[in-house]
């Protein structure tokens, strides 16, 4: 796959001595939705800020569509739109004035019909003359997205785009992001909502303590790291797991009314057949069984805690 952003050996140490990023190597593919996951302070925003030109890297290189972000910053920045995490907008300006400002700042000639379309797509057209201070938090968030799109970027960074946004609006934003991707825009998003990454991302990168851990196709990641659980609802509750079954990764649940067996779905022998045989041998009957997959959230928590 052709990469649109190439990051090599990137590092950032702040003047305070804090190392926010170290040895980051990553390629973002053209046209994909890439989700960057990580706990607070992991380095997600620093990484985005370096690519966008807000923070100067201490080491390594970043190229955007073949252009270096430092030596050829005009070319790289004109291709990028950034929606920051904080609701940082001019307060007293109208939505329309801010759209014109953003487009001009990125070197594009005025194009009212394009700006109108962006505002309509984000349901902001009716608010074009409203001062930004009069808008709700959700609308301000959409204004930030509209501003980031005002110069027709090829790459869009969304730093926690749905933080503090209600469910309906969140789903609306997901649709908008998919539509943007369909139009050829590459999207990189950071999020705390694992559900968001699970719903939208093509690939996922997990960053923790300034280091990039896993970078993987979302489905592959879920298959590779996702664990399955088999829950058996027992006919008679158990007080303890019988010692004969101690070799199995079993847990008692629901006050002894259920046995939970965790297994790796990727392995050829899951051990389920053996477990069921042993249960039968020891006269432990069950009246129901069901299996479940771990969510991306659980995978993420596991990854982060393994690194810690």
Partner 1 sequence: MNLHGIRAIYLFEMARTWRTLMQSVASPILSTALYFVVFGAAIGSRVGEIDGISYASFIIPGLLMLSLLSESISNASFGIYFPKFSGTIYEVLSAPVSPLEVVIGYVGAAASKSVILGLLILATARLFVDYEIAHPLLMVSFLLLTAITFSLFGFIIGLWADDFQKLQIIPMMVIMPLTFLGGAFYSISMLPPFWQKVTLFNPVVYLISGFRWSFYGVADVNISISVSMILVFMLLCLTTIWWIFKTGYRLKN
Smallest separation, CB 263 to partner 1 (Å): 47
For residues 16-75, which are near partner 1 according to CB under 8 A? 52-56, 73-75
- When asked if residue 212 is in the footprint of partner 1 (CB under 8 A), the reply is no
> x/- site string to partner 1, residues 144 to 173, per CB under 8 A?
---x--------------------------
In the chain, what is the straight-line distance between the N-terminal and C-terminal CA atoms, in Å? 32
CB nearer to partner 1: give 83 or 214. 83
Smallest separation, CB 234 to partner 1 (Å): 56
Smallest separation, CB 255 to partner 1 (Å): 51
- When asked if residue 91 is in the footprint of partner 1 (CB under 8 A), the reply is yes
- When asked if residue 11 is in the footprint of partner 1 (CB under 8 A), the reply is no
Among 5, 26, 33, 80, interactor with partner 1 by CB under 8 A = 80
Among 102, 186, 190, 208, interactor with partner 1 by CB under 8 A = 102
Residue pair 48/76 in contact by the 8 Å Cβ criterion = no
- When asked if residue 14 is in the footprint of partner 1 (CB under 8 A), the reply is yes
CB nearer to partner 1: give 74 or 120. 74
Smallest separation, CB 103 to partner 1 (Å): 8
Q: List residues near partner 1 by CB under 8 A.
A: 14-15, 52-56, 73-78, 80, 82, 84, 86, 88-93, 97, 100-109, 147
């Amino acid at each position: 796959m052709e990469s649109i952003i190439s990051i090599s050996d990137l590092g950032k140490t702040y003047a305070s001595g804090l190392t926010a990023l170290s040895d980051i190597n990553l390629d973002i593919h053209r046209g994909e939705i890439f989700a960057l996951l990580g706990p607070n302070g992991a380095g997600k925003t620093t990484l985005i800020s370096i690519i966008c030109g807000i923070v100067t890297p201490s080491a390594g290189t970043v190229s955007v569509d073949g252009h270096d972000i430092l030596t050829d910053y005009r070319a790289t920045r004109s291709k990028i739109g950034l929606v920051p995490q904080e609701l940082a907008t001019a307060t007293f300006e109208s939505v329309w004035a801010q759209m014109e400002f953003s487009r001009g700042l990125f070197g594009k000639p005025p194009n009212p019909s394009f700006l109108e379309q962006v505002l309509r797509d984000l349901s902001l057209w009716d608010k074009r003359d409203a001062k930004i201070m009069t808008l709700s938090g959700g609308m301000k968030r959409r204004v930030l997205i509209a501003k980031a799109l005002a110069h027709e970027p090829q790459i869009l960074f969304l730093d926690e785009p749905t933080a503090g946004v209600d469910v309906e609006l969140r789903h609306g934003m997901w649709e908008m992001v998919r539509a943007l991707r369909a139009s050829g825009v590459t999207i990189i998003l950071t999020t705390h909502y694992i559900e968001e990454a699970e719903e939208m991302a093509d690939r996922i990168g997990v960053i923790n303590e300034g280091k990039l851990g896993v970078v993987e196709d979302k489905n592959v990641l879920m298959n590779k790291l996702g664990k399955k659980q088999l829950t058996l609802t027992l006919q008679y509750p158990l007080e303890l797991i019988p010692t004969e079954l101690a070799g199995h990764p079993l847990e008692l649940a629901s006050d002894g009314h259920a046995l939970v067996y965790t297994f790796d779905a990727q392995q050829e022998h899951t051990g389920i057949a053996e477990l069921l045989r042993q249960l039968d041998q020891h006269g432990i009957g069950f009246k129901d069984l069901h299996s479940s997959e771990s969510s991306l959230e659980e995978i993420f928590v596991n990854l982060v805690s393994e690194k810690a």
